[in-house]
Amino acid sequence: MQHVIIVIHLMLVLALIGVVLLQRSEGGGLGIGGGGGGGFMTSRGTANVLTRATAILAGLFFVTSLILSILAGVNRAPTSILGTPGAPTAPAPGGAPPLGGGSGGLLNQLQGGPPAAPAAPSGPQVPQSQ
């Protein structure tokens, strides 16, 4: 089902690109186009058809995008990054209870290894005279 909608979505994308490129430029943009000269598709009726086709294709593109996002989320189970019930909890060093009330939260999982030793004081070092 999802593959079929992806194929339809891609066909809509290509058709939308083609219809937009066929439209006559009204100038302004980058200083190009919009000039005179009798070219292909210059009648007013054709412009109305292309404008309507663009609007219809854009609406269908929007609908297929929504359908694809809904189909992608159908089989997804909700998860939480804050606490996983199956994670083992280890007692924190020094006998203090682990952060988060012992629930094996994200912080405990990220810590993983032993805690770092406290840093030495960063004051100026005075050499000892002998």
pLDDT at 112: 72
pLDDT per residue, tens digit, the chain (130 aa), is 889 999 999 999 999 999 999 887 776 555 555 555 555 555 566 778 899 999 999 999 999 999 999 999 888 888 888 876 655 555 556 655 555 455 566 776 777 755 555 566 666 666 666 6
**Domain segments of the chain as ranges:** 2-26+44-72
**Helix/strand/coil (H, E, C) string of the chain?**
CHHHHHHHHHHHHHHHHHHHHHCCCCCCCCCCCCCCCCCCCCCHHHHHHHHHHHHHHHHHHHHHHHHHHHHHCCCCCCCCCCECCCCCCCCCHHHCCCCCCCCCEHHHHHHCCCCCCCCCCCCCCCCCCC
- Please give the model's pTM, rounded to 2 decimal places: 0.49
